[in-house]
Amino acid sequence: MKIVVLAGGLSPERDVSLSSASLIANALLSEGHEVALVDVYEGIESLIDLEGSFARPNSGHQFEYVVPDKAPDLDELIHKNSGRKALVGPKVIEICTLADVVFIGLHGAMGENGQLQALLDCFAIPYTGTGYCGSLLAMDKDLSKKLLRQAGIPTADWIMLDRDSDSKSAIINSIGFPCVIKPIHCGSSVGISIVEEPESLLSALDEAFKYESQVLAEKKIVGREFSVGVLDGTTLPAIEIIPKQGFYDYKNKYQKGMATEICPAPVSEEQARRLSEYTMAAHQALRLGAYARIDFILGQDGEFYCLEANTLPGMTPTSLLPQEAAAVGISYNELCDRIVKTAFQEKLN
Ligand SMILES: Nc1ncnc2c1ncn2[C@@H]1O[C@H](COP(=O)(O)OP(=O)(O)O)[C@@H](O)[C@H]1O
Ligand SMILES: [Mg+2]
């Protein structure tokens, strides 16, 4: 098949995306596909032949992207592109229409909130994973918690906060302390703080409101953390995540050796079954697609509380979902291949 892997974008997570998308692109090449890796924001230079942009299998071509040691300067990137604010660069749609399937290798905002999926739908271009509606629902932590509750899936009590109102009283009168403050549309634990006592609330709010104006406060669930992947309508074995220090924050997620990950997670058969049931129910309630990953914490009352759903879970070979796939004998290359084939199959149906 001919595949365009879309990555990068005008997002603070663009470098992480380009780096993991190169690994996905190489996996697809090894599986015999023709692959083009395209930065959705930068697009393709006008003189480049689009057909010639696809690397062929067995040509010895390898994609590589080294993540710079400083965060990307998005203003500089916009400046380099003549001040263009449009999120989709030149010829991106054109090259996508040449592909049998587009692999969405983006992280954060545009790839995750449904915008890109809706755009591809308008051009009848098949793409991997969740559609625009599920992407939007899963990206909004307030909306998704409402839907999870409605579907009978436990999720921690929460309230929405207003920048100007008295958050402290609102929290004391509802969920109490300790609580977790989070912006509702971020990922990678960005802007999230665990607030153990009221005195630390102010700095947590400042941090969260830095990222967006919609912030929630959620009851802190004390207990073990798990994540469960879904692939082609079934759950993968759960993985347990044990950060060496603190919670599963940005540093513990992306720096090597900061968290221990055990897959399959050491839980009882009954617990594994319950995790799997909640995951499938969440998958349905949030209208997720062929692959996704759902996060949980096991509370001290023995209940699993769903934190959120991820429609673009990390996809490096050592990320959580690929580790879960490996536990049932699906290699990283096979996993990437299956995700693409399912998307192609959906187009035929
Ligand atoms: N209610 C909670 N109780 C305890 N820990 C939490 C809670 N909510 C979030 N966390 C911690 O913060 C991390 C990130 O939260 P999550 O809701 O999954 O957001 P993100 O989209 O940033 O991954 C979780 O993996 C967990 O370690
Ligand atoms: Mg999470």
User: What is the predicted pLDDT for the residue at 222?
Assistant: 97
Same domain, 52 and 93: yes
295 is catalytic: yes
64 is catalytic: no
Domain presence at residue 287: yes
The pTM score is 0.95
What is the distance in A from the centroid of ligand 1 to the CA of 189?
7
Same domain, 114 and 40: yes
The reply to whether ligand 1 has any atom less than 6 angstroms from the CB of 201 is no
d(CA 169, CA 176) in angstroms, rounded, equals: 9
User: What is the predicted pLDDT for the residue at 181?
Assistant: 97
| Domain count of the fold of the chain | 3
Domain presence at residue 336: no
What is the distance in A from the centroid of ligand 2 to the CA of 35?
30
Residue 326 makes CB contacts below 8 A (sequence gap 6+) with 263, 332
Q: Report H helices in the chain.
A: 14-30, 74-80, 92-98, 109-112, 115-122, 132-139, 141-150, 167-173, 201-211, 250-254, 269-285, 320-327, 332-348
User: What is the predicted pLDDT for the residue at 63?
Assistant: 97
Taking the CA of residue 219 as reference, the ligand 1 atom at the shortest distance is 1
Same domain, 174 and 33: no
The reply to whether ligand 1 has any atom less than 6 angstroms from the CB of 240 is no
152 is catalytic: no
Domain presence at residue 169: yes
- Closest among 89, 93, 122, 123 to 8, alpha carbons compared: 89
Q: Quick check: helix, strand or coil at residue 301?
A: coil
> In the sheet where 101-104 sits, what is the strand order?
34-39, 2-7, 101-104
User: What is the predicted pLDDT for the residue at 188?
Assistant: 84
Same domain, 120 and 174: no
Domain presence at residue 338: no
User: What is the predicted pLDDT for the residue at 16?
Assistant: 86
How do beta strands 101-104 and 2-7 pair? parallel
Same domain, 120 and 88: yes
What is the distance in A from the centroid of ligand 2 to the CA of 58?
37
User: What is the predicted pLDDT for the residue at 78?
Assistant: 97
- Closest among 129, 82, 178, 160 to 339, alpha carbons compared: 129
- Consecutive 10-residue runs of the chain (349 residues): their mean pLDDT? 97 89 98 98 93 95 88 93 96 98 91 95 97 97 98 98 90 95 89 95 95 95 98 97 92 86 98 98 98 98 98 94 98 98 89
**Length, in residues, of the chain:** 349
User: What is the predicted pLDDT for the residue at 282?
Assistant: 98
What is the distance in A from the centroid of ligand 1 to the CA of 248?
7
Name the phi and psi angles at 298, rounded to 5.
Answer: -90, 110
Residue nearest to atom 19 of ligand 1 (CA): 189
Would you state the structure tokens that stand for residue 101, as one six-digit string? 């399937």
Taking phi over 0 as left and psi of -120 to 50 as alpha, with beta for the rest, 270 belongs to: alpha
What is the distance in A from the centroid of ligand 2 to the CA of 189?
7
Residue nearest to atom 2 of ligand 1 (CA): 220
Q: Among all ligands shown, which has an atom nearest to the Cα of 139?
A: 1
d(CA 112, CA 245) in angstroms, rounded, equals: 28
Same domain, 92 and 40: yes
Q: Among all ligands shown, which has an atom nearest to the Cα of 188?
A: 1
269 is catalytic: no
Same domain, 183 and 285: no
314 is catalytic: yes
Asked if residues 170 and 159 have their Cβ atoms less than 8 Å apart, the reply is: yes
The reply to whether ligand 1 has any atom less than 6 angstroms from the CB of 248 is yes
User: What is the predicted pLDDT for the residue at 257?
Assistant: 87
CATH of the domain at 320: 3.30.470.20
Would you state the structure tokens that stand for residue 224, as one six-digit string? 């073990």
User: What is the predicted pLDDT for the residue at 70?
Assistant: 81
Cα 274–276–281 angle (5° rounding)? 95
Amino acid at 141: K
Domain that holds residue 229: 138-154+222-330
E strand or H helix that includes residue 291: strand 291-298
What is the distance in A from the centroid of ligand 1 to the CA of 307?
6
Which mutation among 174, 188, 189, 250 tests ligand 1's pocket best, with the greatest number of atoms within 8 A of CB?
189
Q: Among all ligands shown, which has an atom nearest to the Cα of 252?
A: 1
Return the bridge partners of 239, or none.
Answer: 227
Taking the CA of residue 221 as reference, the ligand 1 atom at the shortest distance is 3
Q: Report H helices in 151-305.
A: 167-173, 201-211, 250-254, 269-285
d(CA 15, CA 74) in angstroms, rounded, equals: 11
